[in-house]
Structure 1
Amino acid sequence: MGEQPYEAFTAGWARGPLVGFDTETTGVDVARDRIVTAAVVLRVPGVSNDVRTWLLDPGVEIPAEAAAIHGITTEHARAHGAAPAVALEEIAAELAAHLREGVPVVAYNAAFDLSLLDAELARHGLATLPERLGHTVTPVLDPLVIDRWQDRYRPGKRRLGDLVAHYGIQATDDLHNADVDVLATLDVLDALVHQFPVLGTLSLEDLHHAQVGAHHAWARNFNEWRVTQGFEGPGASTAWPVEPARG
């Protein structure tokens, strides 16, 4: 038998709608930092991308190092950004509506963006995604987790830009703009399904649970390696796709 074409493996979720999500922030602490920009992109493969973006006034100073990455200064956010509670409610409502319809959320390093979103919602007295859904956030597709799982032994870094380069994706603009990052993330997911066709044969439920296990195994191995190198600190969390709330 000859090799089956890619299309033979994509009769399920990979041909259906996907909702991409990304944020740019004041920092990398999911419990304390704030969302500055966000993008939600509804993609119907081969048909269209419906892009929504938000600029927030986070209510705190945006550190210079963060502004250098995403280009949004404190002054710009204060002058042009939406009130956080208003924007966060719109973002969460959009994501929850798609998840209720079974549309998977696609996010690169999902545990960061989804955990930060929940922390922000709680900070402003708004319902978190799990509270809106009545269950854990699922299904989620994380190209970072999938790439580590399917190509475990490939050397090199695995930032979004690294995967864009590895899979030969042409980004339309510089990364670190939330909407550009979402589109690149969706393109990386498409490349992963082409590269590893078995992904397209799995149900979204099975694929979600496989990522939970894959991330847990990666984090455990990474933390064991850290110990052998003498590194201190908490290391990588084994939780995916959302960090448990801190008490």
Structure 2
Amino acid sequence: MPIFAAMTNFTEQLKLNLKRPIVFFDLETTGVHVGVDRIVEYSFLKVMLDGTTAGLTRKVNPEMPIPLTSSLIHGIYDEDVKDEPTFRQQAKNLANFLEGCDLAGYNCIKFDIPVLMEEFLRAGIEFDFEGRKVVDVQNIFHQMEQRTLKAAYKFYCNKELIAAHSAEADIVATYEVLLAQLERYANVEIEDKDGKKIIPVQNDVEALHKFTSLRDNVDFAGRMVYDEQGREIFNFGKHKGKLVEEVLNNEPSYYDWMMNGDFPLYTKKKLTEIRLRKFNK
């Protein structure tokens, strides 16, 4: 029986308080390098405002060999994807599926969302990320309990995670874990970094977005971040802590170095936006 079809009745016990649909998703890839590696399988679980769901799972031809070390983790080999469509061939339909939706996943902020954005950029599809709320279930878990997805599933749902590292199994488990977290931490107070008492885990996607977004990144890779005044600063290298606009003004060649370097496409996109904004001023 497909895993989506075998979901538990969590949706009957507790429903997410949604203002628009939210899509839980998980990716299996050729590796862990955001700027280089490619998707070999994706799984999306769209949760509607009324709690009903729609699932979408498919393998992808990554147009590159899958390293054995990766295949041993997710069980997907070159032979499994050689006749599958490429991401470019599927990109438009996927963008339509995600249109108007918030996003959620397990470790999605650091990995899945950056990888997905890279694939859309390679395919020439303008996928609008701005304005979407993002809930990273791992960040709730790590801040409240400090465990892995398998342990989270056992801890919150009292079940064993079967077929771990299958995109579909992982994302169903992630959805169930979030619902269990909402129930477990309802009205639970913790102290924030300033010592203020807060109730961080609420049945509200915007509140969860704020709680699980650990850093205020300009780009997904965190090469640029916002300072306390909301200005973009570099977060790596010899210019770490310096304003991006000032660096681009004082050392224009740094822009060319980054654009020609092995940085994610989305990092280059945001850098270019800042550079164009400077020129427009």
Q: Same fold (TM over 0.5)?
A: yes
Q: TM-score, normalised by structure 1?
A: 0.69
Report if the CA contact (8 A) 2:18-2:205 is conserved: no
| Aligned counterpart, 2:182 | 193
Q: Which residue of 2 aligns with 1:110?
A: 108
The one-letter amino acid of 1:210's match is F
Q: TM-score, normalised by structure 2?
A: 0.61
Shift of 1:63: 0.6
In the other structure, the counterpart of 1:211 is 212
Q: Deviations over 1:178-206 (max 9, x none)?
A: 11111000011011111111456464323
Query: Percent identical across equivalent pairs?
Result: 25
Match of 1:165 in 2: 154
Residue of structure 2 equivalent to 1:55: 59
1:143 aligns with 2:146: no
Tell me the amino acid that sits aligned with residue 246 of structure 1: T
CA shift in 2, pair 1:73/1:167, >3 Å: same
The answer as to whether partners of 2:43 and 2:168 remain within 8 angstroms in 1 is yes
Hey, what's the Cα distance between the residues in 2 that align with 1:192 and 1:74?
37
Tell me how far apart the structure 1 counterparts of residues 142 and 43 of structure 2 sit (CA, whole Å): 24
Question: Cα gap change, 1:15/1:170 in structure 2, threshold over 3 Å: closer, same or farther?
Answer: farther
Aligned counterparts of 1:49 and 1:159: Cα–Cα separation in 2: 25
How big is the shift at 1:211?
2.2
In structure 1, runs of 5+ residues without a counterpart are: 1-9, 217-232, 235-242
Cα RMSD after superposing both structures? 3.1
Q: Structure 2: how far apart are the matches of 1:38 and 1:129?
A: 19
What is the aligned length? Answer: 198
Q: Which has the larger radius of gyration?
A: 2
Is it true that 1:178 corresponds to 2:167 in the alignment? yes
Unmatched tracts of structure 2, length 5 or more: 1-13, 188-199, 217-235, 238-263, 269-281
Gap change, CA 1:201 and 1:246, over 3 Å in 2:
closer
Does the Cα contact within 8 Å between 2:29 and 2:38 map onto a contact in 1?
Answer: yes
Question: Greater helix percent: which structure?
Answer: 1
Which residue identity is paired with 1:192?
Q
- Opposite residue 120 of structure 1, the aligned amino acid is E
Pairing partner for 1:91 from 91, 94, 115: 94
Shift of 1:84: 1.8
Match of 1:82 in 2: 85
Query: Does structure 2 retain, via aligned residues, the 8 Å contact 1:14–1:200?
Result: no
Summarize the alignment of residues 64-79 of structure 1 with structure 2, pairs less than 5 Å apart. Answer: 64-79=68-83
| Contact map agreement 1:171 1:184 (CA 8 A) in 2 | no
Structure 1 residue identity aligned to 2:105: A
CA distance 1:11–1:160, change in 2 (3 Å): closer
Q: Give the Cα–Cα distance (whole angstroms) in 2 for the partners of residues 159 and 107 of structure 1.
A: 13
Q: Quote the Cα distance in structure 2 between the aligned partners of 1:15 and 1:187.
A: 19
SS for the counterpart of 1:93 is: helix
SS at 2:267 equivalent = coil
Tell me the secondary structure at the aligned position of residue 188 of structure 1.
Answer: helix
